[in-house]
Amino acid sequence: MKAVKIENMPELPYAVEEALNRLRVNITFLGTDVRKIMVISTTPDEGKSFVAIQLWRQLADTGISSVLLDADMRKSVMADKYKLTLENEGSLKGTSHYLSGSYPLEDAIYHTQFEKGDILPNTDNVVNPSRLLESSRFAQMLDQMAEKYRYVLVDSAPLDLVSDGERIGSLCDGALLVVRAGTTPKGIVKKSVQQLERAGCPLLGIILNRVENYTGGYYNKRYGSRYYGKRYYGYGKRYYGYGKQYYGYGNEYYKKSKS
Ligand SMILES: Nc1ncnc2c1ncn2[C@@H]1O[C@H](COP(=O)(O)OP(=O)(O)OP(=O)(O)O)[C@@H](O)[C@H]1O
Ligand SMILES: [Mg+2]
Protein backbone atom coordinates (compact mmCIF):
# COMPACT_ATOMS: atom_id res chain seq x y z
CA MET A 1 0.00 0.00 0.00
CA LYS A 2 1.19 3.52 -0.76
CA ALA A 3 1.76 5.83 2.18
CA VAL A 4 1.48 9.53 2.92
CA LYS A 5 2.61 11.58 5.84
CA ILE A 6 0.22 14.21 7.12
CA GLU A 7 2.78 16.85 7.99
CA ASN A 8 0.46 19.58 9.13
CA MET A 9 -1.72 17.91 11.71
CA PRO A 10 -2.32 20.66 14.28
CA GLU A 11 -1.93 20.07 17.99
CA LEU A 12 -5.29 20.85 19.53
CA PRO A 13 -5.96 22.54 22.86
CA TYR A 14 -6.88 20.12 25.60
CA ALA A 15 -10.55 21.07 25.66
CA VAL A 16 -10.95 20.55 21.89
CA GLU A 17 -9.21 17.21 22.10
CA GLU A 18 -11.52 16.30 24.95
CA ALA A 19 -14.66 17.32 23.05
CA LEU A 20 -13.52 15.20 20.11
CA ASN A 21 -12.82 12.37 22.47
CA ARG A 22 -16.40 12.48 23.71
CA LEU A 23 -17.65 12.60 20.16
CA ARG A 24 -15.56 9.54 19.34
CA VAL A 25 -16.90 7.65 22.34
CA ASN A 26 -20.47 8.47 21.39
CA ILE A 27 -19.85 7.34 17.83
CA THR A 28 -18.66 3.99 19.08
CA PHE A 29 -21.92 3.65 21.05
CA LEU A 30 -23.96 3.94 17.88
CA GLY A 31 -23.71 0.21 17.28
CA THR A 32 -22.09 -2.09 14.80
CA ASP A 33 -24.39 -1.18 11.92
CA VAL A 34 -23.05 2.34 11.73
CA ARG A 35 -19.89 2.17 9.66
CA LYS A 36 -20.16 4.73 6.87
CA ILE A 37 -20.53 8.19 8.36
CA MET A 38 -20.87 11.34 6.30
CA VAL A 39 -19.68 14.59 7.86
CA ILE A 40 -21.81 17.35 6.38
CA SER A 41 -22.87 20.94 6.92
CA THR A 42 -25.38 23.30 5.43
CA THR A 43 -23.00 25.96 4.16
CA PRO A 44 -19.25 26.13 3.42
CA ASP A 45 -16.65 26.71 6.09
CA GLU A 46 -18.53 25.33 9.09
CA GLY A 47 -15.78 22.84 9.88
CA LYS A 48 -16.68 19.57 8.14
CA SER A 49 -13.14 18.76 7.11
CA PHE A 50 -11.78 19.74 10.51
CA VAL A 51 -14.22 17.46 12.31
CA ALA A 52 -13.79 14.63 9.79
CA ILE A 53 -10.00 14.54 9.93
CA GLN A 54 -9.75 15.03 13.70
CA LEU A 55 -12.38 12.42 14.47
CA TRP A 56 -10.69 10.01 12.07
CA ARG A 57 -7.33 10.64 13.75
CA GLN A 58 -8.80 10.02 17.18
CA LEU A 59 -10.47 6.79 16.10
CA ALA A 60 -7.21 5.57 14.55
CA ASP A 61 -5.25 6.66 17.61
CA THR A 62 -7.42 4.50 19.82
CA GLY A 63 -6.77 1.46 17.65
CA ILE A 64 -9.97 1.48 15.60
CA SER A 65 -9.32 0.94 11.90
CA SER A 66 -10.71 3.92 10.05
CA VAL A 67 -10.49 5.42 6.62
CA LEU A 68 -11.05 9.05 5.76
CA LEU A 69 -12.62 9.53 2.36
CA ASP A 70 -12.45 13.01 0.93
CA ALA A 71 -15.57 13.13 -1.21
CA ASP A 72 -15.58 16.90 -1.57
CA MET A 73 -14.47 16.87 -5.17
CA ARG A 74 -15.54 20.46 -5.82
CA LYS A 75 -13.20 22.47 -3.65
CA SER A 76 -11.28 20.21 -1.35
CA VAL A 77 -8.21 21.78 0.19
CA MET A 78 -7.44 18.94 2.55
CA ALA A 79 -4.31 17.60 0.84
CA ASP A 80 -2.73 21.07 0.76
CA LYS A 81 -3.92 22.35 4.10
CA TYR A 82 -2.82 19.30 6.05
CA LYS A 83 0.25 18.87 3.82
CA LEU A 84 -0.06 15.31 2.64
CA THR A 85 3.34 14.19 1.44
CA LEU A 86 3.94 10.98 -0.47
CA GLU A 87 6.35 8.56 1.16
CA ASN A 88 6.91 6.73 -2.15
CA GLU A 89 7.67 7.76 -5.71
CA GLY A 90 4.90 9.08 -7.92
CA SER A 91 2.18 11.67 -7.78
CA LEU A 92 -0.53 12.00 -5.19
CA LYS A 93 -3.77 10.73 -6.68
CA GLY A 94 -7.16 11.03 -5.08
CA THR A 95 -10.87 10.35 -5.08
CA SER A 96 -11.68 11.93 -8.43
CA HIS A 97 -8.84 9.98 -10.10
CA TYR A 98 -10.00 6.72 -8.59
CA LEU A 99 -13.63 7.26 -9.58
CA SER A 100 -12.77 8.14 -13.15
CA GLY A 101 -10.14 5.41 -13.44
CA SER A 102 -10.21 1.64 -13.46
CA TYR A 103 -7.55 0.64 -10.96
CA PRO A 104 -8.34 -1.28 -7.75
CA LEU A 105 -9.23 0.49 -4.52
CA GLU A 106 -6.18 -0.94 -2.72
CA ASP A 107 -4.05 1.09 -5.10
CA ALA A 108 -5.95 4.27 -4.33
CA ILE A 109 -5.93 4.33 -0.52
CA TYR A 110 -2.90 5.59 1.38
CA HIS A 111 -1.63 4.44 4.70
CA THR A 112 -0.64 7.26 7.09
CA GLN A 113 1.56 7.70 10.13
CA PHE A 114 -1.43 6.57 12.23
CA GLU A 115 -1.23 2.83 12.39
CA LYS A 116 -4.97 2.25 12.06
CA GLY A 117 -5.67 5.27 9.88
CA ASP A 118 -5.80 5.22 6.09
CA ILE A 119 -6.89 8.01 3.81
CA LEU A 120 -8.16 8.72 0.33
CA PRO A 121 -7.74 12.47 -0.21
CA ASN A 122 -9.06 14.38 -3.17
CA THR A 123 -6.20 15.99 -5.01
CA ASP A 124 -7.83 17.22 -8.22
CA ASN A 125 -11.10 19.08 -7.98
CA VAL A 126 -13.61 18.72 -10.78
CA VAL A 127 -16.27 21.11 -11.99
CA ASN A 128 -19.15 18.69 -11.81
CA PRO A 129 -18.55 15.58 -9.72
CA SER A 130 -22.23 14.51 -9.76
CA ARG A 131 -21.62 11.92 -12.45
CA LEU A 132 -18.81 10.38 -10.42
CA LEU A 133 -20.90 10.33 -7.26
CA GLU A 134 -23.84 8.78 -9.13
CA SER A 135 -21.65 6.01 -10.54
CA SER A 136 -21.84 2.48 -9.21
CA ARG A 137 -18.07 2.69 -8.69
CA PHE A 138 -18.66 5.22 -5.92
CA ALA A 139 -21.29 3.10 -4.14
CA GLN A 140 -19.06 0.04 -4.45
CA MET A 141 -16.10 1.97 -3.11
CA LEU A 142 -18.03 2.88 0.06
CA ASP A 143 -19.11 -0.73 0.58
CA GLN A 144 -15.61 -2.05 0.02
CA MET A 145 -14.26 0.43 2.51
CA ALA A 146 -16.90 -0.51 5.07
CA GLU A 147 -15.87 -4.15 4.74
CA LYS A 148 -12.25 -3.39 5.36
CA TYR A 149 -12.47 -0.65 8.00
CA ARG A 150 -14.58 -0.29 11.11
CA TYR A 151 -15.37 3.33 10.22
CA VAL A 152 -15.51 5.15 6.93
CA LEU A 153 -15.63 8.91 7.53
CA VAL A 154 -16.76 10.78 4.46
CA ASP A 155 -15.99 14.48 4.11
CA SER A 156 -18.36 16.17 1.68
CA ALA A 157 -19.36 19.40 -0.03
CA PRO A 158 -22.02 21.46 1.83
CA LEU A 159 -25.70 20.68 1.35
CA ASP A 160 -26.97 24.12 0.41
CA LEU A 161 -26.13 24.47 -3.26
CA VAL A 162 -25.41 21.05 -4.70
CA SER A 163 -26.87 17.58 -4.39
CA ASP A 164 -23.57 15.81 -3.63
CA GLY A 165 -24.35 15.51 0.08
CA GLU A 166 -27.74 13.96 -0.56
CA ARG A 167 -26.24 11.40 -2.89
CA ILE A 168 -23.42 10.53 -0.47
CA GLY A 169 -25.85 10.49 2.46
CA SER A 170 -28.14 8.06 0.68
CA LEU A 171 -25.26 5.58 0.64
CA CYS A 172 -24.08 6.13 4.23
CA ASP A 173 -25.35 4.74 7.51
CA GLY A 174 -25.77 8.19 8.94
CA ALA A 175 -24.57 11.77 9.03
CA LEU A 176 -22.98 14.13 11.50
CA LEU A 177 -24.22 17.63 10.84
CA VAL A 178 -21.65 20.31 11.65
CA VAL A 179 -23.17 23.67 12.52
CA ARG A 180 -21.06 26.77 12.88
CA ALA A 181 -22.15 28.44 16.09
CA GLY A 182 -23.81 31.81 15.75
CA THR A 183 -23.46 31.92 11.99
CA THR A 184 -25.64 29.41 10.23
CA PRO A 185 -29.28 30.50 10.27
CA LYS A 186 -31.58 28.07 12.00
CA GLY A 187 -33.96 27.92 9.04
CA ILE A 188 -31.39 26.58 6.63
CA VAL A 189 -30.04 24.08 9.14
CA LYS A 190 -33.59 22.82 9.40
CA LYS A 191 -33.69 22.49 5.64
CA SER A 192 -30.53 20.38 5.78
CA VAL A 193 -32.11 18.08 8.30
CA GLN A 194 -35.04 17.64 5.91
CA GLN A 195 -32.69 17.01 3.00
CA LEU A 196 -30.99 14.25 4.97
CA GLU A 197 -34.34 12.75 5.85
CA ARG A 198 -35.33 12.80 2.20
CA ALA A 199 -32.09 11.09 1.29
CA GLY A 200 -32.84 8.38 3.83
CA CYS A 201 -29.73 9.25 5.79
CA PRO A 202 -30.21 9.06 9.58
CA LEU A 203 -28.98 12.09 11.47
CA LEU A 204 -26.54 10.74 14.04
CA GLY A 205 -25.76 14.01 15.74
CA ILE A 206 -25.33 17.74 15.43
CA ILE A 207 -21.94 19.21 16.17
CA LEU A 208 -21.94 22.79 17.29
CA ASN A 209 -18.60 23.99 16.04
CA ARG A 210 -16.48 27.11 15.94
CA VAL A 211 -17.89 28.71 19.05
CA GLU A 212 -15.64 31.66 18.42
CA ASN A 213 -16.97 34.54 20.46
CA TYR A 214 -16.15 32.74 23.64
CA THR A 215 -13.70 34.87 25.53
CA GLY A 216 -12.85 32.70 28.51
CA GLY A 217 -9.69 30.67 28.48
CA TYR A 218 -11.14 27.49 29.76
CA TYR A 219 -14.02 25.15 29.26
CA ASN A 220 -17.08 26.88 30.66
CA LYS A 221 -20.22 24.92 31.07
CA ARG A 222 -22.49 27.83 31.91
CA TYR A 223 -21.60 29.71 28.83
CA GLY A 224 -22.21 26.66 26.70
CA SER A 225 -25.63 25.96 28.06
CA ARG A 226 -26.72 29.53 27.61
CA TYR A 227 -25.58 29.56 24.06
CA TYR A 228 -27.17 26.30 23.32
CA GLY A 229 -30.40 27.39 24.94
CA LYS A 230 -30.66 30.56 22.95
CA ARG A 231 -29.89 29.46 19.47
CA TYR A 232 -30.15 25.74 19.20
CA TYR A 233 -32.58 24.66 21.82
CA GLY A 234 -35.35 24.55 19.28
CA TYR A 235 -33.49 21.87 17.42
CA GLY A 236 -32.94 19.86 20.52
CA LYS A 237 -36.64 19.86 21.21
CA ARG A 238 -37.81 19.24 17.76
CA TYR A 239 -35.42 16.41 16.94
CA TYR A 240 -35.16 15.03 20.39
CA GLY A 241 -36.91 11.87 19.26
CA TYR A 242 -33.90 10.84 17.23
CA GLY A 243 -31.83 10.56 20.36
CA LYS A 244 -29.03 12.64 19.02
CA GLN A 245 -26.12 14.18 20.77
CA TYR A 246 -25.03 17.75 20.62
CA TYR A 247 -21.44 18.73 20.84
CA GLY A 248 -19.72 22.03 21.08
CA TYR A 249 -16.16 22.39 20.24
CA GLY A 250 -13.16 24.07 20.78
CA ASN A 251 -13.84 27.30 22.21
CA GLU A 252 -15.78 25.42 23.95
CA TYR A 253 -18.63 23.44 25.31
CA TYR A 254 -20.20 20.10 25.22
CA LYS A 255 -23.73 19.11 25.89
CA LYS A 256 -25.27 15.74 25.34
CA SER A 257 -28.99 15.24 25.15
CA LYS A 258 -30.63 12.26 26.73
CA SER A 259 -30.90 9.54 24.13
N1 LIG B 1 -13.34 23.56 16.11
C2 LIG B 1 -12.44 24.26 15.43
N3 LIG B 1 -11.40 24.84 16.06
C4 LIG B 1 -10.50 25.54 15.37
N5 LIG B 1 -10.52 25.77 14.04
C6 LIG B 1 -11.53 25.23 13.35
C7 LIG B 1 -12.54 24.46 14.00
N8 LIG B 1 -13.43 24.06 13.05
C9 LIG B 1 -12.97 24.57 11.89
N10 LIG B 1 -11.85 25.27 12.05
C11 LIG B 1 -11.12 26.00 10.99
O12 LIG B 1 -12.09 26.72 10.24
C13 LIG B 1 -11.79 26.70 8.86
C14 LIG B 1 -12.93 26.05 8.08
O15 LIG B 1 -13.00 24.69 8.46
P16 LIG B 1 -13.13 23.53 7.39
O17 LIG B 1 -12.22 23.72 6.23
O18 LIG B 1 -13.03 22.26 8.15
O19 LIG B 1 -14.64 23.79 6.94
P20 LIG B 1 -15.47 23.02 5.83
O21 LIG B 1 -16.88 22.95 6.33
O22 LIG B 1 -14.81 21.73 5.50
O23 LIG B 1 -15.40 24.03 4.62
P24 LIG B 1 -15.75 23.72 3.08
O25 LIG B 1 -17.24 23.77 2.98
O26 LIG B 1 -15.10 24.84 2.34
O27 LIG B 1 -15.18 22.37 2.75
C28 LIG B 1 -10.50 25.93 8.73
O29 LIG B 1 -9.44 26.84 8.70
C30 LIG B 1 -10.45 25.07 9.99
O31 LIG B 1 -9.14 24.73 10.36
MG1 LIG C 1 -14.11 20.95 3.71
At 182-204, the pLDDT tens digits run 889 999 999 999 999 999 999 99
Express each pLDDT in 125-159 by its tens digit. Answer: 999 999 999 999 999 999 999 999 999 999 999 99
How many whole angstroms from 49 Cα to the centroid of ligand 2?
A: 4
- Give me the number of domains the chain comprises: 1
Work out which ligand 1 atom sits closest to the CA atom of 41.
Answer: 21
- Domain of 79: which CATH number? 3.40.50.300
Q: Is 46 in the pocket of ligand 1 (CB under 6 A)?
A: yes
Domain holding 50, by residue range, is 2-255
Nearest-angstrom CA–CA distance, 7 and 85: 7
Does the beta carbon of 249 lie inside 6 Å of ligand 1?
yes
Strands 117-120, 245-248: parallel, antiparallel or unpaired by DSSP? Answer: unpaired
Task: Please report the pLDDT score of residue 15 as a whole number.
Answer: 87
Distance CA 6, CA 8 (A): 6
> Does the C-beta of 158 come closer than 6 Å to ligand 1?
yes
Q: Please answer whether residues 29 and 151 qualify as being in contact, where contact means their C-beta atoms are separated by less than 8 angstroms.
A: no
Task: Report d(CA 163, CA 229) in Å as an integer.
Answer: 31
- Distance (Å) from CA 184 to ligand 1 centroid: 14
Answer whether 0.75 is exceeded by the pTM: yes
23 three-class SS: helix
Q: Give the closest ligand to the alpha carbon of residue 47.
A: 1
- Say if ligand 1 is within 6 A of residue 49 CB: yes
Q: Ligand 1 centre and the CA of 188: distance in Å?
A: 19
Pair type for strands 245-248 and 254-255: antiparallel
Strands (E) across the chain are located at: 2-6, 36-41, 66-70, 84-86, 110-111, 117-120, 151-155, 174-180, 203-209, 245-248, 254-255
> How many Å lie between the centroid of ligand 2 and the Cα of residue 222?
30
- Test site for ligand 1: of 50, 156, 184, 213, most ligand atoms within 8 A of the Cβ: 50
Q: What is the pLDDT of residue 44?
A: 95
Do 129 and 21 form a contact (C-beta atoms < 8 A)?
no
**Dist CA 59 CA 54 (whole Å):** 9
Please give the Cα distance from 85 to 102 (Å, whole number): 24
pLDDT value, residue 53: 97
44 Cβ below 6 A of ligand 1: yes
Low-confidence ranges of the chain (pLDDT < 70): 212-259
